[in-house]
Amino acid sequence: MSAQIGTTPQTGINVSKLGFFLDGWADIVEGMGSKAASVRKDVLNQLQGRGMPDITLGNKSGYTGLISNERRDYVVAETFPGARTLVYIAQHGNDLYASWRTWIEPKINWNLLKWVLIGAAVLGLLSGGIQTYSYFGPTQTTFSFFGWIFSTFGYLVFAGVVLAIAGKVIKGSFLSYLFIEPNVFDAEDITAMSLSTHKSVLRALDSAGIDSSRLRLKQEFKGGRRGETV
């Protein structure tokens, strides 16, 4: 995975489909609402200046659904597999609202499913697609398309049940093997992204003349996987 550092074009992001919430922080700075735009811009500059590897940075317009006209501007940091940290800086009356939240979107494990499909198709071909018969004469071999499809489907169902049971027993979830879960390395990268974002927000607020020591302290940070605390 190559590093992608810089600003992506302004694009949209559905904030209702970000996946599982991992961690976050927020605070209100009284009387500083007029500085929201400059702080938001500086947050992105601060993140870019960190040179984080394998992170895509950019401004994105968030929306909640296709029929919703309401949009909000976010600074977004993204990394594998499907982790996003959204920074929201906005004027809230006379005050400035600052927040960041890290989410992880489940990604289908297409690599595993590909091999499961290939295995089921081969077994289905051997057991149902290629048919041999002999009616008191030479053995003949024919190919049955519907027999192949039916047998392949049966093996896929069997493989799905096995993967679900194995996922529940080994990893605690029936869907563990159907989706890509962050490994230890991924979890560290996601945690580093959250920490870097937090410090970038504080630095941007400080640069705007806001005393970061008066902001809400964050007591603990969640790790890059659900249930972990660092």
Helices (H), 31-124: 36-49, 110-124
Distance of CA 72 to the CA centre of its chain: 20
- How far is 162 from 139, CA to CA, in rounded Å? 36
Task: Give the percent of the chain with pLDDT over 90.
Answer: 56
- How far is 111 from 178, CA to CA, in rounded Å? 10
Domain boundaries, the chain: 7-107+181-214, 110-177
Provide the residue type at 99 as one letter: S
- How far is 185 from 125, CA to CA, in rounded Å? 40
Q: What is the pLDDT of residues 68-110, one digit of tens each?
A: 678 999 999 999 888 999 999 999 999 999 999 999 988 888 8
**What pLDDT does residue 134 have?**
67
**CATH number for the domain running over 7-107+181-214:** 3.30.310
Assess contact for 18 and 88: CB atoms under 8 A.
no
Q: What is the pLDDT of residues 107-162, one digit of tens each?
A: 888 899 999 999 999 999 999 888 877 666 677 788 889 989 999 999 999 999 99
Least confident of 22-31, 123-132, 202-211: 123-132
pTM of the model: 0.76
Whether the pLDDT of residue 219 is over 50: the answer is yes
CA-based nearest residue to 17, from 62, 71, 67? 62
**What pLDDT does residue 135 have?**
63
**What pLDDT does residue 2 have?**
35
Measured from the Cβ of residue 75, the count of other Cβ atoms closer than 10 Å reads 27
Assess contact for 17 and 105: CB atoms under 8 A.
yes
Assess contact for 69 and 19: CB atoms under 8 A.
no
Which residue is listed with tokens 């806001």?
210
CA-based nearest residue to 103, from 228, 224, 4? 224
